[in-house]
Amino acid sequence: MKKINNFLLLTILLTLFVACNKKAEVSDLEKLRNSNNTKSYPSVQMDSMQAINSITKQKVQELLDLSTLYLSGNRNTEIDTVIYSQMESYFHKPDSLTFKKLLKELDSMKVKSVKVNNLNVYKEFYKKDTLDYAKFNVEYFDNKNKSLGSFEKNAQYILLSTSKMKKEFKFYFLDFYSKPLKKDSTSVGVTK
């Protein structure tokens, strides 16, 4: 009996010792409350092309997510109106044709979610203008999260300066799911 009592006393003391040494877990809400911007930015600096690539991928993904969310609704409620106006805010000069091709494609394939892969930004020169494009693969998924296919798409974007003193820019799409300009094709060689 004395051995059992000693064993119980030892386990109780050991349990109390472990419980006292255990650190309190900090909740996600507490982490957010005590965070500041200096800790949220990555310690590795990005060059301008990496930053543009990252921002463009984020904007493409957000616009496609909003599009699938809009299509999953009735398209005539207040929330649908808010979603549509948020989608329009991604474009420099939105009009009624801005989303027609995108929404028609997503609706015809019954897409419920989208994932953007392999996004690369590049420039094309047209006459004296430099045009900024993003080329990316987009994978569509149905309501059972089954892949409907992966497609190569393009989007034309523009970065507009927001102030003269600071180097801040605002990102807008000019054309989504656009086709890049076709190069002038002049045949070289002997023609009859």
More confident residue, 42 or 138: 138
pLDDT at 39 over 50: no
Least confident of 17-21, 39-43, 77-81: 39-43
- CA angle 59/178/113 to nearest 5° reads 50
60 closest CA partner among 177, 184, 186, 146: 177
Torsion sign across C-alpha atoms 125, 126, 132, 137: negative
Tokens standing for 22?
A: 């255990």
For 160, list phi and psi in degrees, rounded to 5.
-110, 135
Per-residue confidence (pLDDT) for residue 189, from 0 to 100: 42
68 closest CA partner among 97, 117, 107, 98: 107
Q: What is the DSSP letter of 30?
A: H
pLDDT band at residue 161 using 50, 70 and 90 as cut-offs: confident
